[in-house]
């Protein structure tokens, strides 16, 4: 997604003022933190600066691998006229600490806490900074408005939160009333939602104007990203105001989104193609979950449609799979267990399942939200905008003790650092050299929605009582603790410091992230824990059983004594335990080969009513055929040909393109007499893309093209030409020449396809949309070169037909 234009003139001027001895390269900066008071320089590519709370100043600080914990200086890059910093700070100053003491920790954290303390009654609005200017150090005092302290359950029962909401809404409304107001549709909808959530009737004229804009909204690209938030705002507006004059627009948006859903219940960057498949990157949950929330709210607002109902059901069935297993991932991928959040999708999931009254799923995702704080919230694909947007809406479903604990741990300092001196907020972005994709986005609505939670004026901010049981302070503290001990620069040292007993305890955690971190630490320590973990496979606690399997997977060959008890788990009634046990067996390797017959039989089984998307089958494809970890990666010795063939046919029909591609990786290992009866299934999987997992769907197709050509299967020519025309666009400029070389191997036989190839070249040159023209022309040139090679060929290899 494209970001809005942002200003960097003042930042560039500030950097120039600090480059006392010339620009340092990015590589040098990664090795040494520059000392700006001793001639050090900001790296040339490092353009990311930060809002410094209500001071009115912005500043640069050193970052590395998404953390700023090595920084000890803040270079001032901008000072707003008339702000508290005006006259005390100037562009080119360097902040070295607080009061008379230098920074001892991450300056973002220390400044955030200092801002919170200064705005309290005890702090009297005084923020003391240790300033360096022109070789001299001095403590300066900035006078900030006194807002009070956050309550223990903030933003609930919290006067400071109420003041921030009131001030922010007033300034936001002034900005929205300005001529030419029209930011990106996502922050525009969030800003309107914030005013709506305030319950202030003075904002109704502005909100009606925004609702009329939303009712008429349409987009030709990235519709999925925008339609979800437009639907959310429009539905909330109708329910809050009773103004049904915009219902026609809400119906249109909801039905367009419904018709744009893929056949498996997902959405991508854009709506699905006519055949129900997604193009481009395929399934993307960051727009897909808000779209589903928008449809649920539209239904509540009065959009009654069986089509909409079915779209909601398909999406929620798809997303519910991740509950209890990890964060909702980027697309049709494994549950995300590297961090407790994946750029806000747990918060989205918590809200979604709360709205449809699925208590277990909503509870799990809300707990994941509470456990995600600190460095985890700075992560996110192309930026962390959505990580902050959906944080407190997801956390709040677990009650005021959860929000209070999360705010005390992280939210208070982060929110106070992000709040500008006029009460609005701009997206801060993660700590990295360059701004993220959402740089410059107005984040005022993002934060004000969190502060509006206590008012419960709209559904998104709690008008509908939470289905998640409220947790007490002890449980909240425990969840917060589960999220500690990780950052992107140092992922391992905290868990490495824990003793064996504590790590074993954590492998039985409710959190799949904690289980994974503990399992990895045990494997690195080479602890002799296999007997204890084997005992856990018999536990009544399912989390303990999952954790044992996760640890065996990391122990690999050292877990060979666990093969027999893991094999027993393949008959368990819990799908996820079966999947985790199979994964552990595949990573153990050769010692786990006795499990092969059972795994092949399980893969051959058709998807069941409780697993209609064939998720278990998907994971078994990877367990058996993955090039790196598959059980069959080394040898086919002793493998039953019939059982393998049945399993391959089943895997080639799985919905997931990655699973199919894993199956395709074994083609090259099979003798022709094993391949021959599988050729019709291989040809079908080569011609027809998987309905899901589009990002990885091409592997099985190119593997099939190579195999068909290797054995001179006549229909392989048709498959090559069909693939060149109908492959997914992403990276097609690289694949097209390779596929045409496969077609070359058919020699003069391919001449019958020259007219079709000429039409494809014309299509690439003149008609291919949503793809860079230079790359389209390159593909056209590759096709024309192939035509000349084929026309000149005299080779006539003997062909074999599938018939």
In this structure, what are the phi and psi dihedrals at residue 364, rounded to the nearest 5 degrees?
-60, -50
Cα separation of 12 and 29, whole Å? 18
Helix (H) / strand (E) containing 127: strand 126-133
Cα separation of 96 and 486, whole Å? 26
Cα separation of 102 and 175, whole Å? 38
Contacts of 449 (CB under 8 A, 6+ apart): 190, 193, 194, 197, 389, 392, 393, 460, 461
Tell me, what's the pLDDT at 610?
A: 87
Structure tokens, 283: 């399934």
Tell me, what's the pLDDT at 16?
A: 39
Cα separation of 776 and 768, whole Å? 7
Cα separation of 289 and 335, whole Å? 15
Helix (H) / strand (E) containing 634: none
Cα separation of 241 and 295, whole Å? 19
Compute CA distances 20 → 24, 31, 73, 216, 305, whole Å.
10, 19, 16, 53, 66
Tell me, what's the pLDDT at 31?
A: 55
Residues paired with 713 in a beta bridge? 800
How many C-beta atoms lie closer than 10 Å to residue 767's C-beta? 8
Q: Is the peptide bond before 155 cis (omega within 30 degrees of 0)?
A: yes
Q: What is the separation, in whole angstroms, between the first and last Cα of the chain?
A: 48
Q: Which among 393, 415, 417, 446 is positioned nearest to 184, based on CA atoms?
A: 446
Reported as half-sphere exposure (CB side, CA atoms, 13 A), residue 349 has a value of: 36
Helix (H) / strand (E) containing 51: strand 50-51
Output the CA angle 358-363-368, nearest 5 degrees: 135
Tell me, what's the pLDDT at 564?
A: 97
Running DSSP on this structure, what letter comes out for residue 540? S
| Residue ranges, CATH 1.50.10.20, the chain | 162-464+472-482
Query: What pTM does this model have?
Result: 0.93
In this structure, what are the phi and psi dihedrals at residue 556, rounded to the nearest 5 degrees?
55, -125
Tell me, what's the pLDDT at 606?
A: 79
Residues paired with 137 in a beta bridge? 132
Tell me, what's the pLDDT at 712?
A: 96
CATH class given for the domain over 162-464+472-482: mainly alpha
Running DSSP on this structure, what letter comes out for residue 684? H
Cα separation of 40 and 266, whole Å? 50
Running DSSP on this structure, what letter comes out for residue 77? E
Cα separation of 569 and 552, whole Å? 13
Cα maximum dimension of the chain? 90
pLDDT in tens, 100-142: 999 999 999 999 999 999 999 999 999 999 999 999 999 999 9
Structure tokens, 2: 């494209």
| Residue ranges, CATH 2.30.42.10, the chain | 9-143
Tell me, what's the pLDDT at 25?
A: 33
- Answer yes or no: are the C-beta atoms of 150 and 161 closer than 8 Å: yes
Query: Which portions of the chain are predicted below pLDDT 50?
Result: 1-30
Tell me, what's the pLDDT at 45?
A: 84
- Answer yes or no: are the C-beta atoms of 308 and 322 closer than 8 Å: no
Superfamily of domain 9-143: PDZ domain (2.30.42.10)
């Amino acid at each position: 997604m494209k970001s809005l234009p942002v200003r960097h003139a003042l930042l560039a001027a500030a950097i120039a003022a600090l480059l006392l001895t010339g620009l340092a390269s990015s590589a040098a900066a990664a090795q040494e933190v520059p000392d700006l008071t001793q001639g050090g320089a900001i790296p040339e590519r490092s353009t990311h600066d930060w809002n410094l709370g209500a001071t009115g100043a912005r500043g640069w600080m050193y970052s590395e691998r998404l953390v700023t914990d090595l920084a000890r200086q803040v270079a001032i890059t901008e000072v707003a006229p008339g702000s508290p910093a005006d006259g005390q700070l100037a562009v080119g100053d360097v902040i070295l600490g607080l009061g008379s003491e230098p920074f001892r920790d991450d300056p973002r954290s220390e400044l955030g806490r200092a801002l919170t303390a200064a705005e309290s009654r005890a702090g009297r609005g005084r923020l003391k900074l240790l300033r360096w200017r022109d070789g001299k150090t001095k403590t300066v005092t900035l006078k900030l408005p006194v807002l009070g302290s956050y309550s223990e359950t903030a933003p609930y029962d919290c006067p400071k939160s109420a003041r921030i909401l009131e001030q922010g809404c007033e300034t936001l409304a002034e900005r929205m009333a300005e001529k030419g107001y029209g930011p990106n549709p996502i922050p525009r909808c969030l800003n309107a939602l914030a005013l709506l959530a305030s319950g202030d009737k003075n904002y109704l004229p502005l909100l009606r104007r925004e609702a009329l804009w939303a009712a008429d909204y349409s987009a030709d690209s990235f519709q999925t990203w925008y339609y979800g938030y437009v639907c959310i705002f429009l539905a909330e507006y109708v329910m809050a105001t009773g103004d049904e004059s915009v219902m026609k627009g809400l119906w249109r948006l909801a039905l367009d989104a419904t018709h744009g859903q893929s056949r498996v219940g997902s959405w991508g960057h854009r709506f699905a193609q006519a055949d129900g498949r997604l193009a481009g990157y395929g399934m993307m949950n960051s727009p897909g979950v808000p779209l589903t929330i928008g449809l649920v709210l539209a239904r509540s607002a009065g959009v009654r449609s069986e089509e909409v109902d079915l779209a909601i059901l398909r999406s929620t069935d798809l997303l519910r799979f991740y509950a209890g297993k990890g964060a909702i991932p980027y697309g049709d991928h494994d549950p995300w267990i590297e961090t407790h959040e994946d750029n806000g999708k747990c918060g989205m999931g918590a809200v979604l399942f709360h709205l449809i009254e699925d208590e277990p799923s909503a509870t799990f995702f809300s707990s994941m939200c509470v456990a995600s704080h600190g460095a985890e919230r700075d992560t996110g694909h192309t930026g962390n905008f959505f990580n902050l947007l959906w944080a407190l809406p997801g956390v709040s479903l677990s009650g005021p003790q959860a929000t209070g604990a999360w705010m005390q741990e992280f939210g208070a300092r982060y929110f106070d650092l992000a709040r500008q001196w006029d009460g609005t907020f701009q997206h801060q972005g993660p700590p990295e050299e360059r701004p993220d994709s959402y740089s410059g986005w107005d984040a005022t609505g993002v934060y004000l929605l969190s502060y509006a939670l206590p008012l419960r004026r709209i559904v998104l901010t709690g008008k509908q009582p939470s289905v998640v049981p409220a947790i007490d302070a002890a449980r909240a503290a425990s969840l917060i603790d589960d999220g500690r001990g990780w950052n992107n620069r140092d992922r391992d040292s905290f868990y490495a410091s824990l003793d064996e007993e504590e790590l074993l305890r954590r492998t039985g955690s409710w959190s799949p992230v904690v289980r994974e971190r503990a399992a990895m630490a045990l494997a690195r320590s080479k602890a002799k824990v296999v007997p204890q973990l084997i005992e856990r496979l018999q536990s009544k606690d399912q989390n303990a059983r999952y954790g044992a399997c996760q640890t065996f997977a990391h122990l690999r060959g050292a877990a060979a004594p666990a093969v027999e008890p893991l094999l027993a788990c393949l008959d368990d009634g819990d799908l996820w335990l079966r999947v985790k046990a199979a994964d552990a067996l595949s990573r153990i390797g050769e010692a786990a080969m006795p499990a092969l017959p059972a795994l092949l039989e399980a893969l051959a089984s058709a998807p069941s009513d409780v697993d209609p998307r064939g998720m278990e089958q998907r994971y078994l494809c990877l367990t058996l055929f993955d090039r790196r970890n598959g059980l069959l990666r080394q040898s086919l010795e002793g493998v039953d040909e019939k059982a393998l063939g049945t399993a391959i046919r089943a895997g080639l029909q799985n919905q997931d393109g990655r699973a199919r591609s894993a199956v395709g990786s074994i083609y090259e290992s099979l003798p022709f007499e094993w391949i021959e009866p599988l050729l019709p299934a291989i040809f079908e999987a080569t011609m027809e893309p998987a309905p899901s997992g589009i990002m990885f769907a091409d592997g099985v197709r190119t593997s099939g093209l190579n195999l068909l050509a290797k054995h001179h299967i006549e229909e392989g020519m048709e498959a090559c030409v069909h693939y060149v025309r109908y492959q997914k666009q992403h990276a097609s400029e690289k694949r097209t020449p390779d596929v045409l070389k496969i077609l070359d191997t058919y020699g003069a036989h391919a001449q019958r396809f020259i007219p079709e190839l000429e039409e494809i070249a014309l299509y690439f040159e003149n008609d291919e949309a949503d793809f860079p023209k230079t790359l389209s022309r390159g593909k056209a040139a590759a096709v024309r070169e192939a035509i000349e090679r084929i026309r000149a060929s005299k080779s006539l290899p003997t062909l074999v037909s599938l018939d």
